[in-house]
Structure 1
Amino acid sequence: MITVERTFLIEVPLDATMAYLQDFGHAEEWDPGTVRCLRIDEGPVRAGSSWRNTSRFRGRTTDLVYRLDSRGPRELVFVGVNKTVTARDRMRFEAQSATTTRLTYVASLRFNGLARLAEPFLRREFEALADKVAGRLPSAVRAHHSEA
């Protein structure tokens, strides 16, 4: 399994930060690997809501179905699956002040079958991707909050 973790401050209140990030469709704005992310169910976003995510990695595209696995008062957990990989994205939130949120983002990838053999060779690339997410996510949240 590959696990990457990044922690950063977002100059947006906690509730607004969580509201934005619980809609995984916004991944197009903050995840440089996401090409498209469309909701595949209806109604308010809640535990069990799901999205079809198309990502590009190493020049190839792949689709995963992501589900909001759980939504706690200070945590969101998404699980994405396809035949090759299970992805788990855990976001933990902490109010640093009335206007700033500390976000700890942990992404884990568990490959299935023969794809597991590639894990040691992919770790460095996933670390680089996590750095890009850390660079884009705070500004995407801020931009969305300033539009609201």
Structure 2
Amino acid sequence: MIEVRRTITVARPLDEVARYLADFSRTEEWDPGTVRCTRVGDGPVAPGARWHNVSRFRGRTTELDYRLDRLESGRLVFVGANRTVTATDDIGLTAATGATTVVDYRATLEFKGLARLAAPFLRAEFERLADRVAVRLPEALAGQ
């Protein structure tokens, strides 16, 4: 298992940040690994909502189907899976001074089968990816 965590302060009010991040298709704007992320189905963004995510990592394309597991005041949890990995994005939100929000971003990857053997060798690359998320998320929110 790999877990990466970043604390990111953004210059937007908590309610705006929560609305923005609850629409997982926006990962195209702030997650440098995401190539495309599309909503599956209709209706409000609520627990059970689904997205199909296409990402590029180490030159390879992978697809995961994500669902919104938790939508609470101050917390969003998305779980994506395919045959080799289960990815969990656990996002905590706390109102800070003025109109700023602190985002506690934690991504956990649980590899399945033989892919588990590669996890120790991939940690550094996922750390670098999380560093890039920490830069891009405030930039994406500034453009809203």
TM-score, normalised relative to structure 1:
0.96
Say whether residues 1:54 and 2:54 are aligned partners: yes
* Equivalent residue, structure 1, for 2:132: 132
Say whether residues 1:26 and 2:26 are aligned partners: yes
Moved over 6 A (4+): none
- How far does residue 44 in structure 1 lie from its aligned partner after superposition? 1.1
Code of the residue aligned with 1:91 in structure 2: it is I
- How far does residue 138 in structure 1 lie from its aligned partner after superposition? 1.0
Say whether residues 1:67 and 2:67 are aligned partners: yes
* Inter-partner Cα distance in structure 2 for 1:21 and 1:141: 9
- How far does residue 142 in structure 1 lie from its aligned partner after superposition? 1.8
Code of the residue aligned with 1:108 in structure 2: it is T
- How far does residue 98 in structure 1 lie from its aligned partner after superposition? 3.7
What are the Cα deviations for residues 38-62 of structure 1, in whole angstroms up to 9, with x where unaligned? 0011011111101000000000001
- How far does residue 97 in structure 1 lie from its aligned partner after superposition? 2.4
What are the Cα deviations for residues 14-69 of structure 1, in whole angstroms up to 9, with x where unaligned? 00000000000000000000000000110111111010000000000010001011
User: Matched residue of 1:44: which SS?
Assistant: coil
* Inter-partner Cα distance in structure 2 for 1:70 and 1:98: 26
Q: Percent identity?
A: 57
* Inter-partner Cα distance in structure 1 for 2:137 and 2:109: 19
What are the Cα deviations for residues 84-129 of structure 1, in whole angstroms up to 9, with x where unaligned? 0000000000000240000100000000000000000000000000
User: Matched residue of 1:16: which SS?
Assistant: helix
* Equivalent residue, structure 1, for 2:95: 95
* Equivalent residue, structure 1, for 2:39: 39
* Equivalent residue, structure 1, for 2:143: 143
- Gaps spanning 5+ residues in structure 2: where? none
Count how many residue pairs are aligned between Structure 1 and Structure 2: 144
* Equivalent residue, structure 1, for 2:84: 84
User: Matched residue of 2:92: which SS?
Assistant: strand
* Inter-partner Cα distance in structure 1 for 2:45 and 2:139: 22
* Inter-partner Cα distance in structure 2 for 1:98 and 1:37: 32
Code of the residue aligned with 1:18 in structure 2: it is A
Code of the residue aligned with 1:73 in structure 2: it is S
